[in-house]
Amino acid sequence: MVGGDTAVPLDASAVVANVTASGSSGASYLTVYPAPGNGIPTPPTAANVNFVGGQIVGNRVVVPVGGNGQIEVYNHVGSVKVDVDLYGYYTGNASELGSAFTPLTPTRFTDTRVGINGSILGANADETFDFSGEGIAANATALASNITAVAGGAPGYLTVYPAIDASPPTVGDVNFLADTVAQDFAFAPLNGGNVKIFSSSPDPVNIVIDAFGYFSPPPPAVHVVANPASVPADGMSTSFLTVTVTTGSGVAFDDPASLTTTPSVAGSCGIAAATGSTNAFGQVTSTYTASTTPGTCTITATEANGGTTGSATITQTASS
């Protein structure tokens, strides 16, 4: 169960997770897929994590959430221990706000082997890596990246976590053996352009971070909808106006909005009633009453806290 039973809402469309196999009885693979609403689950012919006997290996997955907020994990043969660590989710419908993805030309942000943006990670230690000068948005929430561990003489794992956390969570992002190179795709959580990486190995480990894009909140916006968008120019017909204000973190609550009108010809704007402040859904409503002059009227809404504007146009048709 992932939807509704964790920090993931029940209507989430997909989750981001790291799926790790360990202690297997032999070679096999795991397939992660949405759980059906009912009946016996049938795994697709795909693999997310491949492993040999006894190997500890993980992989990042983005998997749709199935019936009742659940996902399935299928093991092809034998027995294996499975850890599923959740890292985020995709919103379930267009009215929910999240962070938008901006792709980047694949770029090496860090390579501690040659002193690029950091130094070798010490034994059982963490380090903060700063990406603020790498051309990503200042309000970026996560970095889409490949994290590589170039291990020393001992095994261990890397944990990628927000720089504001005092200590790493008890999860692993990249598992590695002694004197090997191992990697995993990660959505590295950012705080002010920074991320922390912890290494559990008793030997130093070099880190390579290759970036492919980042997530950041959408900019503030004001949307105005007029229903209907066309009314007779009879001096009494009305249109219902809905103003929705959003910010980078969600809808704007208790944000006063004002309306102004711009006619296409003199007299083609009626009266837009005064509005109040946005409600818990970021919305405030008004009523537009037509004038007696055919033409169009552009209604612009301006929210008070940031001065963001949005508009809609109402057509006033000649009365028959």
Domain boundary among the residues 216, 249, 279 is at 216
**What is the average per-residue pLDDT within 278-296?**
94
pLDDT in tens, 289-315: 999 999 999 999 999 988 999 999 999
Helices (H) and strands (E) in the chain, counts: 0, 23
Q: How many domains does the chain have?
A: 3
The model's confidence at residue 3, banded by pLDDT at 50, 70 and 90, is: low
Average pLDDT of the chain is 91
Q: Are residues 234 and 248 in the same domain?
A: yes
Looking at per-residue pLDDT, the higher value among 39 and 320 belongs to 39
Looking at per-residue pLDDT, the higher value among 234 and 95 belongs to 234
Q: Are residues 176 and 246 in the same domain?
A: no
Q: Are residues 195 and 228 in the same domain?
A: no
CA angle 213, 65, 160 (to 5 degrees): 40
The sign of the CA dihedral 25, 31, 35, 39 is: negative
pLDDT of 100 reads 82
In this predicted structure, which of 66-70, 182-186, 225-229, 242-246 has the lowest mean pLDDT? 66-70
pLDDT of 112 reads 97
Q: Kindly report the backbone phi and psi dihedral angles of residue 66, in degrees, each rounded to the nearest multiple of 5, phi listed first.
A: -95, -150
Does 228 sit behind a cis peptide bond, omega within 30 degrees of 0 on the bond before it? yes
Q: What is the share, in percent, of the chain residues with pLDDT greater than 90? A: 71
Q: Kindly report the backbone phi and psi dihedral angles of residue 69, in degrees, each rounded to the nearest multiple of 5, phi listed first.
A: 75, 30
60 closest CA partner among 226, 222, 175, 180: 175
Domain boundary among the residues 198, 216, 234 is at 216
CA angle 68, 72, 75 (to 5 degrees): 165
Q: Are residues 81 and 107 in the same domain?
A: no
Residue 138 predicted with pLDDT over 90: no
The span from the CA of 117 to the CA of 265, in Å, is: 60
The model's confidence at residue 158, banded by pLDDT at 50, 70 and 90, is: very high
- Its pTM stands at 0.69
Residue 96 predicted with pLDDT over 80: no
Range of the domain at 241: 221-317
The CATH number assigned to the domain holding 153 equals 2.60.120
Q: Are residues 106 and 69 in the same domain?
A: no
Q: Are residues 106 and 195 in the same domain?
A: yes
Domain boundary among the residues 93, 126, 158 is at 93
The set of residues, in sequence order, having a beta carbon less than 8 Å from that of 108 and lying 6+ positions away, is 116, 208, 209, 210, 211
pLDDT of 247 reads 82
Half-sphere exposure in the Cβ direction for 80 (13 Å, CA): 30
Q: Are residues 112 and 134 in the same domain?
A: yes
Q: Are residues 137 and 207 in the same domain?
A: yes
Q: Are residues 52 and 128 in the same domain?
A: no
pLDDT of 120 reads 96
pLDDT in tens, 6-61: 677 777 888 899 999 999 999 999 999 998 877 788 889 999 999 999 999 999 99
149 closest CA partner among 198, 107, 190, 187: 198
Q: Position of tokens 């499975």?
A: 82
The CATH number assigned to the domain holding 297 equals 2.60.40.10
Q: Are residues 41 and 79 in the same domain?
A: yes
Cβ-contact 313, 231 below 8 angstroms? no
Would you list the DSSP string of 133-175? TTT--TT--EEEEEEEEE--SS-EEEEEEETT-SS--S--SEE
Q: Are residues 119 and 77 in the same domain?
A: no
Cβ-contact 203, 153 below 8 angstroms? yes
Q: Are residues 83 and 115 in the same domain?
A: no
Q: What is the share, in percent, of the chain residues with pLDDT greater than 70? A: 95
The span from the CA of 153 to the CA of 88, in Å, is: 33
